[in-house]
Amino acid sequence: DIVMTQGALPNPVPSGESVSITCRSSKSLLYSDGKTYLNWYLQRPGQSPQLLIYWMSTRASGVSDRFSGSGSGTDFTLKISGVEAEDVGVYYCQQGLEFPFTFGSGTKLEIK
């Protein structure tokens, strides 16, 4: 199985600051169609996960442009430009290249 490893944040983060959340996969997620099958989700407290980014860098419908995704085949970053109170929660990366799809263990964001 592909292992997804996420980094931690130096919580709490001051409101308005920009943060980068890292994720690493044990295998390249770049497919022959040119797409990188890496998704990002936010799970706010008490809620279901919601899709933020798919194909490594494509924002999902309705997602703020403060969120951006980037990376290579195995190293990925979710950047939040100017964190706000509503960004609090746990962020997960997930690979959609191979079965079984796998998720990272999550990165918690707290705001000061």
Out of 49, 69, 71, 89, which residue is the one contacting other proteins (CB under 8 A)? 49
Please identify, using beta-carbon distances, which residue of 72 and 102 lies nearer to other proteins: 102
Q: What gap in Å lies between CA 20 and CA 22, rounded to an integer? A: 6
- Residue from 50, 72, 74, 81 touching other proteins (CB under 8 A): that is 50
Cβ contacts of 13 within 8 Å, gap of 6 or more: 19, 83, 109, 110, 111, 112
Q: How many residues bind other proteins (CB under 8 A)?
A: 20
What is the smallest separation between the CB atom of 6 and other proteins, expressed in angstroms? 11
Does the protein bind other proteins through residue 94 (CB under 8 A)? Answer: yes
